[in-house]
Amino acid sequence: MCRYKDVGIPFPLGMVGGCKRKVVLTTQLINVCGKMEVRKKIKVKCLNDDEAWSLFLEKVGEETISSHPLIPRLAKDVIKELEGLPLALITTGRAMYDKEDPREWQHAIDLLKKSRLDEVEHSREDQEGSTFYRLKFSYDNLRSDTLRECFLSCSMWPEDWLIKKEKFIECWMGLGFIKEFDYISEAYNTGHTLIRYLIRASLLEENEVYDEVRMHDVLRDMALWIAHDNGKNKNKWIVFRDEAPRDEEIWHKAERIMLINSKIKEFPRIAATPSSSKLTTLMLSRNYNLTALGDNIGALVALTYLDLSNCRIIHFPKEVCGLVQLRYLNLTNNEMPSLPVELGSFVNLKFLILRDTGIHTIPQGVIAKLKSLQLLDLYHNWRSIDENLTYLASQLLEELECLNNLKGLGICIGDTSQHHLDYQSGGSA
């Protein structure tokens, strides 16, 4: 048995010679506090601007900072990208110790903006001393591969974003990380539990007021680095800020492409070589200039996850119906008056989310063909009664009865004698 003095703890504990003694430990994993029976937990926050500057200056050296008039301003831009994370400030400061040319500093800033901190720190030369390598301890010690996959997927959203927890949970269901559940409420409970694990491991930050979470920029960069096979395959996951990648090779080699809140107006042209496509996940949400998809998207036959929420698509994109491997399709908050007959080809679709789409026409028999469907969300459609309504509530309910795998339904049925559906809330059925 280990004795107190063997680990540097005076014995006996408590008052000795009039002195009170305490043991202080630090950890990235909150469950360690429970195992060590910690009496008081103190969360160490990231440094503020002044503290971050002092720490960074200490590591980079006054001589380097004062070597050129532009470097102090550039150094503050570097610090801003690191968001007060002490470990990143220390390792990056040491890496910039001998950089006295402003162009080297600007290059470092460019790399940081592209989530390539490992290249700034030259971590290939000193891998064990790099920020990513040391932060990866928390990732490696997560209790399951599912948690690790969930953490990596959080990096698919833009930096500095606060994301609703339910959005993460829907994503994890669509990506297949949450599989075993009898009711949709079970899936959401599982998702919230997974989020709590990531928060306790200091891998996510929580905004309790709005039920949101965010990922620190450096942790997001680390997640992308891991997803890129520790930086060796940068085309595996593509996260673009503004325009869609024009290089066709990227579209055929990437496994996930995320273009959230960008400025794209149309889907890029892709050569019709479906057999070479590896892309399984495509996120195009919040592209407010995107009103339609071209035939090119049909070349992405391996797609299983497609998020087109919050765009400006005015008709259901029939080109998507050729993507028969889709398991998740989200078209929330687009203006689409009707669903096409071709929708029935989605034999593998498990999650169909059509909130706030204004749909008032569904061809008879289409819903009944979606045999794999587990969640159908039609929240807040049919916002006004109109003479063009062509689908009776009774018909929809009959078709829903044919879906043996359906576990969640977002719908509220009003007076069926009015021959319309009045959607008021989206819950599980």
Q: What pLDDT is stored for residue 6 in this prediction?
A: 62
The answer to whether residue 77 scores a pLDDT higher than 90 is yes
Q: Is residue 266 part of a domain?
A: no
Distance CA 407, CA 130 (A): 45
Give domain status of residue 178, yes or no.
yes
Lowest pLDDT segment from 50-54, 270-274, 348-352, 373-377: 270-274
Pair (23, 83) in one structural domain: no
Q: In 47-64, which positions are buried (b, 16+ CB within 10 angstroms) versus exposed (e)?
A: beeeebbebbbebbeeeb
CA-closest candidate to residue 175, choices 193, 154, 192, 189: 154
The answer to whether position 84 is within a domain reads yes
pLDDT value at residue 212: 94
Q: Give ∠ CA 154-155-156 in degrees, rounded to 5.
A: 90
With beta carbons less than 8 A apart as the criterion, state whether 155 and 227 touch.
Answer: yes
The answer as to whether 143 is a domain residue is yes
Q: Is residue 83 part of a domain?
A: yes
Domain endpoint, select from 170, 203, 218: 218
Structural domain of residue 197, as residue ranges? 133-218
Structure confidence at residue 117 (pLDDT): 82
Instruction: Give the pLDDT mean for 18-29.
Output: 70
Would you state the structure tokens that stand for residue 135, as one six-digit string? 């932060």
Query: Which one-letter amino acid corresponds to residue 319?
Result: E
Q: Among 115-119, 218-222, 302-306, 374-378, which stretch is predicted with the lowest mean pLDDT?
A: 115-119
Tokens of 272: 């019709």
CA distances from 215 to 88, 218, 224, 235, 263 (A): 15, 8, 12, 22, 23
Q: What is the CATH number of the domain that holds 167?
A: 1.10.10
pLDDT digits (tens, 9 = 90+) for 52-62: 999 999 999 99
User: Residue 386: is its pLDDT beyond 80?
Assistant: no
Percent of the chain with pLDDT over 70: 82
Rounded Cα–Cα distance for residues 360 and 390 (Å): 7
Q: Is residue 90 part of a domain?
A: yes
Same domain, residue pair 109 and 151: no
pLDDT beyond 50 at 88: yes
Confidence bin at 358 (pLDDT 50/70/90): confident
Single-letter code of the amino acid located at 2? C
200 is a domain residue:
yes
Average pLDDT over residues 399-418: 76
Q: Which of 25, 377, 14, 419 is nearest to 184 (CA)?
A: 377
Mean pLDDT for the chain overall: 82
Residues 76 and 142 placed together within one structural domain of the fold: no
Average pLDDT over residues 343-350: 93
Q: Is residue 257 part of a domain?
A: no
Q: Which pLDDT belongs to residue 326? A: 95
Residues 6+ apart with CB under 8 A from 384: none
Last residue of a domain, one of 218, 252, 280: 218
92 & 149 share domain: no
Q: Is residue 405 predicted with pLDDT exceeding 60?
A: yes
User: Are 149 and 206 within one domain?
Assistant: yes
pLDDT bucket at 71, cuts 50 / 70 / 90: very high
* Type of residue numbered 328: Y
Query: Structurally, how many domains does the chain consist of?
Result: 3
pLDDT score, position 86: 86
For residues 226-255, one letter each, b for 16 or more C-beta atoms within 10 angstroms of the residue's C-beta and e for the rest, the string is bbbeebeebbebbbbeeebeeebebbbbbe
Q: What confidence category does residue 299 fall into, taking pLDDT thresholds of 50, 70 and 90?
A: confident
Given this model, what pLDDT does residue 198 score? 94
DSSP 182: S
pTM of the predicted structure, to 2 decimals = 0.78
**CA–CA distance, 236 with 277 (Å, rounded to integer):** 12
Question: From edge to edge, which strands make up the β-sheet containing 205-207?
Answer: 163-164, 212-214, 205-207
Express each pLDDT in 32-42 by its tens digit: 777 777 878 77
